[in-house]
Amino acid sequence: ETVVTCDGFVQHLSCDTGVISVQSATYGRTSSQICSFGRPQSQISNTWCSINGSLEMCDGLRTCGLNTQGLSTPDPCFGTYKYYTTNYICIPAETSVTCHGGYGYLKCKNGKIQINTANYGRTDKITCSQGRPSKQLQNTNCFSPNSLITFSKYCNGRERCEVYATHMIFTDPCFGTYKYLAISYFCLPHGIREYLSSCLILHSFCYFQEVCLEY
């Protein structure tokens, strides 16, 4: 999938099945036609303006909405009106979402848990929003950087794992925002020897991040 979003607007990524895996993201302008409506010629004439963006925070989510304003610094071409172009795929994975203060349960009927992504924070205004005032839902760029390593150490290699969504485990990443714990994970088949490392395998219908598999 490819999504193009004009600067200052919210970029929405979603998967009907599976979870998001961002393949590439660029910020700038390579066409004078895209995101040009109502803009003066001086803001759209430079089509040699592009830098790599960073939308990895959407990885592992079923849906993700991020305000593009201020996502990329420094400005690659001052005075040019820019846009985000994101390419992503949907990979098969289990997901778990737990609102703040609650417990979540990860389980594999056949195999063992391997955490793919984890974040305690907020990346959209809809999840865990019932009964919450609007001001607690506005910050959708809220991420806890140590979520992944924390739950990987605790849950990887187990058939069942209970997780607790609270800032008592992490430093509060965005004070005043109502948060939730979002986890995506794989169920690795029994009999597969796994090595936690920095390798990435993409083969057939299997996609395992930070896991090397040796049959």
Q: What string of DSSP letters covers 33-95?
A: STT-TT--HHHHS---EEEE---GGGTT-SEEEEE-TTSS-S-SSTTS--EEEEEEEEE--EE
| 208 pLDDT above the threshold of 50 | no
How far is Cα 86 from Cα 196, in angstroms, rounded to an integer?
28
Pairwise CA distance, residues 15 & 42, whole Å = 37
> Is pLDDT of 201 > 60?
no
When pLDDT is averaged across residues 85-94 and rounded to a whole number, the result is 90
Per residue in 120-151, pLDDT (tens digit) is: 999 889 999 999 999 999 998 899 888 999 99
Average pLDDT over residues 154-179: 90
Indicate if the pLDDT at residue 198 is higher than 80. no
184: pLDDT strictly greater than 60: yes
Average pLDDT over residues 53-81: 81
pLDDT category at 205 given cuts 50, 70, 90 is: very low
Task: Please report the domains of the chain, with CATH numbers, ordered by start residue.
Answer: 2-91 (2.60.120.740), 94-188 (2.60.120.740)
Of 103, 136, 109, 135, the closest CA to residue 121 belongs to 136
Confidence of residue 191 (pLDDT cuts 50, 70, 90): low
Residues in the chain: 215
Average pLDDT, the chain: 84
Q: Kindly report the pTM of this predicted structure.
A: 0.65
Buried-state track 166-203, b at ≥16 Cβ within 10 A, e below 16: bbebbeebbeebbbbbbbbbbbbeeeeeeeeeeeeeee
Is residue 68 within 8 A of residue 35, CB to CB? The reply is: no
- Residue 82 is predicted with a pLDDT of 94
The confidence score (pLDDT) of residue 70 equals 65
Omega prior to 92 cis, within 30 of 0: no
Predicted confidence (pLDDT) per residue in 13-39, tens digit: 999 888 898 999 999 999 999 999 999
